[in-house]
Chain A
Amino acid sequence: QVHLVESGGGVVQPGGSLRLSCAASGFAFSAYGMHWVRQAPGKGLEWLAFIWNGRRDENYADSVRGRFTVSTDISRNMLFLEMSSLRAEDTAVYYCAKAVTGGHDIHHWGQGTLVTVSA
């Protein structure tokens, strides 16, 4: 059974940095691509980033490119999102999500972790 658990959220000051983690289990992590998606309070879903496991291939939304970096540690079945130069508008629940084999379609979501950017 696929299980995705995000952690690392919290309160951070504007301009600060934070690293989110997503622990994956129940599937062959190295064989799948992974997404980060966020949702600001009361707002819709916003796709942030996608990484193909096993290859150096990442893609980002314009709103976070150059500030956020997605990475994985296949040996530990972990997905990360390094966030820097955080702004108030980055306040959101951040979800990790598992894609299908060889594609982008999301089949499983984590429960999310809340990031609040505030002085």
Chain B
Amino acid sequence: DIQLTQSPSFLSASVGDRVTITCRASQDVYRFLAWYQQKPGKAPQSLVYATYNLQSGVPSRFSGSGSETEYTLTINSLQPEDSATYYCQQLSIYPLTFGGGTKVEIK
């Protein structure tokens, strides 16, 4: 199975900061990598698919990049509503595994 390792597992940043979350795969996932946002008590929301494509309605301060085994989610100008846990998922090879999550806190 492909293992996805997210780093950091927790980060605290101020409004307006640029934040980067990394997702490292145990093997090449050929850019079949997605990102999700989940707020406490809520269902996940899809942010980015196929490495860099923003889902409809997602603010442009979110962006994704990467290739092969290393991928990043960047939030430019962090906003209070971005406080959440973020997960990556590889959709290249079954089983379609998730990363362990990164909790983003607003200082």
Give A residues with C-beta under 8 Å from B. 35, 37, 44-47, 50, 59-62, 95, 100, 103-112
**Given contact pairs A95-B44, A109-B43, A112-B43, A100 touches B95 in the complex (Cβ within 8 A):** no
Cβ-closest chain B residue relative to A110: B43
Please name all residues of chain B whose beta carbon is closer than 8 Å to the beta carbon of A45 when the two chains form the complex. Answer: 36, 38, 44, 87, 89, 98, 101
Please name all residues of chain B whose beta carbon is closer than 8 Å to the beta carbon of A105 when the two chains form the complex. Answer: 32, 34, 46, 49-50, 91
Give B residues with C-beta under 8 Å from A. 1, 32, 34, 36, 38, 43-46, 49-50, 55, 87, 89, 91, 94-101
Contact of B98 among A46, A103, A108, A109 (CB under 8 A): A46
Asked whether, in the complex, the Cβ of B34 is within 8 Å of the Cβ of A106, the reply is: yes
Please name all residues of chain B whose beta carbon is closer than 8 Å to the beta carbon of A112 when the two chains form the complex. Answer: 43
Please name all residues of chain B whose beta carbon is closer than 8 Å to the beta carbon of A100 when the two chains form the complex. Answer: 49
Contact of A109 among B45, B96, B101 (CB under 8 A): B45
The minimal Cβ–Cβ distance linking A113 to chain B, given in whole angstroms, is 11
A-side binding surface: helix, strand, loop or mixed? strand
Cα distance A101–B74 in the bound complex, in angstroms: 26
The minimal Cβ–Cβ distance linking A89 to chain B, given in whole angstroms, is 16
The minimal Cβ–Cβ distance linking B100 to chain A, given in whole angstroms, is 5
Please name all residues of chain A whose beta carbon is closer than 8 Å to the beta carbon of B89 when the two chains form the complex. Answer: 45, 47, 106
Asked whether, in the complex, the Cβ of B94 is within 8 Å of the Cβ of A44, the reply is: no
9 tightest A-B CB contacts, nearest first = A105-B49, A104-B91, A45-B98, A109-B43, A47-B96, A59-B94, A61-B95, A44-B101, A111-B43
Please name all residues of chain A whose beta carbon is closer than 8 Å to the beta carbon of B36 when the two chains form the complex. Answer: 45, 106
Please name all residues of chain B whose beta carbon is closer than 8 Å to the beta carbon of A106 when the two chains form the complex. Answer: 34, 36, 46, 49, 89
Contact of B95 among A47, A95, A103, A109 (CB under 8 A): A47
Cβ-closest chain A residue relative to B53: A105
Please name all residues of chain A whose beta carbon is closer than 8 Å to the beta carbon of B96 when the two chains form the complex. Answer: 35, 47, 50, 59, 104
